[in-house]
Amino acid sequence: MFRPLPYRPLLLALAALAPALGAVPARADDDGERARRALERGEIRPLDAVLAAARAAVPGDVVALDLKRDDGRWLYKLRILGTDGRRRDVKIDASSLKLLDVDDDD
């Protein structure tokens, strides 16, 4: 005759909880949090303003974006696929929206 193991209810409970445990939200992304705080403090401009400045300087589609802290200032680094089909890396000061550099990806 089959006798259930004494720890079987515990195993069944853990198996039932496994999907819920995987659904627990991870800690907020540190980079996202730093960017949010910098925006709230007025150290960087909103993303829509950055995208508009980048597209005005280099028309095309933004395919990558990165926010970095470099030498005490925030920089947006964007990769833009230009209307001419060329890829360009664009650096923009995150506070002033000043275009700092444009490099062609040849």
* Cβ 77 vs Cβ 89: under 8 Å: yes
Give all domains of the chain, ordered by start, each with its CATH number. Answer: 44-106 (3.10.450.40)
pLDDT tens by residue, 69-92:
999 899 999 999 998 899 999 999
pLDDT of res. 32? 84
pLDDT tens by residue, 2-61:
444 444 444 344 444 444 444 444 434 677 888 899 999 999 999 999 999 999 999 999
Task: Mention every residue, 6+ apart, whose C-beta is less than 8 A from residue 60.
Answer: 80, 81, 82, 83, 88
pLDDT of res. 16? 46
pLDDT of res. 30? 78
32: its two tokens: 């996202």
